[in-house]
Structure 1
């Protein structure tokens, strides 16, 4: 028994020492040290590193060392290059997604289509553009980037369905970092495509942008299949994967047909919602809970509510929601429901509401064929105590088209 205890202590000490060294290496990268020097130090000191250790290291960098999430995002690609080939679970990537219809299987299928799109097609057309930038090579790049923007569906399912569950298991740092990198990839693709279409580019800068996109998309495939998905398989229950699969169709898929239905090894535990037919008595009337939910879902607007602790508690579920919401996000802080680079705006709105400085805030943006009005309202009780924030979202494009008057029924 004493030998077993001693072995556990030795293993724990070894893990702690490796964690400390991992943090030291990343901090050296943070301070601007040469990547090759750090990689050599890493390979000399550590033969293998686990997925969980990388996850813990990223989280502790933000929580204990105070390195901002944006900086960890910048370093993410660098340390992925350092760790690549040294992750002990790397061989497990071949075993990922063996069950057709399982969300992991679907993510891997998409990655198999994304990989040749960036590393063969886009890379080939980029090389042609390097040799001769003419109308034909520019158009090929525009077409490639237009196709590649479909990757947004892959990233959105990851961000809105998978990452919220990981956060429920206390895994916050890696999820924030990955979402931030996803956003940078999407923004870079859109920027390069727009510049090519408008003719507002320089040859050297465009080549640099394209090479960055190719590298970052490739690295994200690696990070998903060797870090994120194995970690998710380790933590999530079968019922949680079923919930993810059930909501995936609404966000859609990229470069593959809708996957076949997943047939788990056991029957799904019955988790469907049942609405209590009790009565809700309000100041201005009485309705059943069923009627109240149907009323909320029939409004030609989207409603989202977070409580006074910034926890996402409710969303209406109309048939044409403008911004996707999932039940996986319920119970999550609102800050973790937004991309890292926009969290400061969220926090400012909440700070103004809680302090009483403001009672509302409005935004309006064009979105494809819609013109979206987004309104935020501080919810207060009779004494003025802040109870939460209500988000009100509406497509006002049809309203803007109204002219004259209408007094008769259609």
Structure 2
């Protein structure tokens, strides 16, 4: 990719933002781009949103479908063998989209049959089937959440922070459209079926556009950027977020090459490995040499494996801790036994810690290791960013020490209480924000007039 191509692409997108019709810029696009890299699209969006062009995140989001239509048929595909293996996150992601497309088609057929007068006698059965299929479609929430919580943090670490922000915003718009469909279906048969069909088609159009954006743009960026270790971490952390309609039918076991000193290993089929990746699989600390075959010829890499760092502390050793003594292991156990979900964001707004009071699949606010090190703003959907910023401003400024809120979780069917507390040192200096979350349904059911004996 070249700066010139990115500049031309940016100018074309700017013309769209200034009101040019998609048809008027399509010819210019076709002249310059026989194959556009998904990475170029990412860089272009980043430059648009971070420059003085006047193009905001909201602008990019509002024209997201126009952009996607412009790129159709021109995006260069990236293929990696592992992604076709069962259980690989990319394979699972695509299979979910196939299953969701099928469910969308079934909903359309049911709505069509429901509207026909000759099917009046079967409307109750059709309505039951419609609600069942919508429950299946509604599992797209798991698909989107895995994307937002596992794909996006890794993208941000590689500097691709604009596509996640835009896509998360569109995801939330699609979620809102689906809620309208559900509400309308709940009003059948009192509501006109034409209104339900119209709302469903609004949702389906945006949903099917998102499938294109995921598979033609998002996954291409990931395949060009992510390492095999990134995909392994995503595969290992996916279960707590759930899946859409289908589940992995097998555990993905990646093909890993170990480069040693034997002639047999040196003659193994060439794969692209970084020195750090190769070093991770070598126990020797001696200098190693690897020859990689490339289209331009042979590339020889010489490196010394980094020795595994030994822990320089004893997790079992007790030390002064507050008003007593605790070991690191004991402190960790205590934090994990608190009946709260705890998250700590440091003074630089970096998500630094969460406890394991319950398994990730049972958490109210699901957390997984991939989110550690992420900026707090990237941990939240765009539609709540202003609220998050206001809370952090209140806590950092000292205007408030705590901000609390509660809500009823539809997923849990229980009330949840959330507290954001400023963490300050002995000198009163702000050191971060502690979020603690607890389910309070049991508290609401307590009989305050009765002194009950604890079992």
TM-score (norm 2): 0.79
Q: Which runs of 5+ in 2 are unaligned?
A: 258-276, 282-307
The aligned residue for residue 109 of structure 2 is 124
User: Residues 169 and 382 of structure 2 are in contact (CA less than 8 Å); yes or no, is this contact kept in structure 1?
Assistant: yes
Q: Distance in 1 between matches of 2:233 and 2:141?
A: 20
The aligned residue for residue 408 of structure 1 is 453
User: Residues 126 and 210 of structure 1 are in contact (CA less than 8 Å); yes or no, is this contact kept in structure 2?
Assistant: no
Matching of residue 348 in structure 1 with residue 390 in structure 2: yes
Matching of residue 60 in structure 1 with residue 47 in structure 2: yes
Query: Equivalences for 1:295-314 in 2 at 5 Å?
Result: 295-314=334-353
Q: Secondary structure at the match of 1:97?
A: helix
Deviation at 1:122, TM superposition (A): 3.0
Query: Equivalences for 1:5-404 in 2 at 5 Å?
Result: 15-64=2-51, 65-89=53-77, 92=78, 97-118=83-104, 120-128=105-113, 141-198=130-187, 206-266=196-256, 276-319=315-358, 320-368=362-410, 369-403=413-447, 404=449
Q: Distance in 2 between matches of 1:97 and 1:109?
A: 12
Cα distance change on mapping 1:96 and 1:59 into 2, 3 Å: farther
Q: Distance in 2 between matches of 1:351 and 1:196?
A: 41
String of CA shifts for 1:292-316, please: whole Å, max 9, x gaps: 1111111111010101111000001
| Rg larger in structure | 2
The aligned residue for residue 9 of structure 1 is none
User: Residues 97 and 106 of structure 1 are in contact (CA less than 8 Å); yes or no, is this contact kept in structure 2?
Assistant: no
Cα distance change on mapping 1:72 and 1:228 into 2, 3 Å: same
Cα distance change on mapping 1:61 and 1:255 into 2, 3 Å: same
**Taking CA–CA contacts closer than 8 Å with sequence separation of 6 or more, which of the two structures ends up with the larger relative contact order?**
1
Q: Distance in 1 between matches of 2:177 and 2:319?
A: 50
Cα distance change on mapping 1:295 and 1:24 into 2, 3 Å: same
Q: Distance in 2 between matches of 1:71 and 1:127?
A: 36
Q: Distance in 1 between matches of 2:180 and 2:377?
A: 26
User: Residues 106 and 259 of structure 1 are in contact (CA less than 8 Å); yes or no, is this contact kept in structure 2?
Assistant: no
Deviation at 1:282, TM superposition (A): 2.1
User: Residues 93 and 226 of structure 1 are in contact (CA less than 8 Å); yes or no, is this contact kept in structure 2?
Assistant: no
Q: What is the aligned-residue RMSD (CA, Å)?
A: 2.8
Q: Secondary structure at the match of 2:404?
A: strand
Q: Distance in 1 between matches of 2:28 and 2:115?
A: 35
Q: Distance in 2 between matches of 1:201 and 1:33?
A: 39
Q: Which has the higher helix share?
A: 1
Q: Distance in 2 between matches of 1:131 and 1:310?
A: 56
User: Residues 82 and 88 of structure 2 are in contact (CA less than 8 Å); yes or no, is this contact kept in structure 1?
Assistant: no
Q: Secondary structure at the match of 1:155?
A: helix
User: Residues 86 and 248 of structure 2 are in contact (CA less than 8 Å); yes or no, is this contact kept in structure 1?
Assistant: no
Q: Distance in 2 between matches of 1:93 and 1:151?
A: 25
Q: Distance in 1 between matches of 2:384 and 2:10?
A: 27
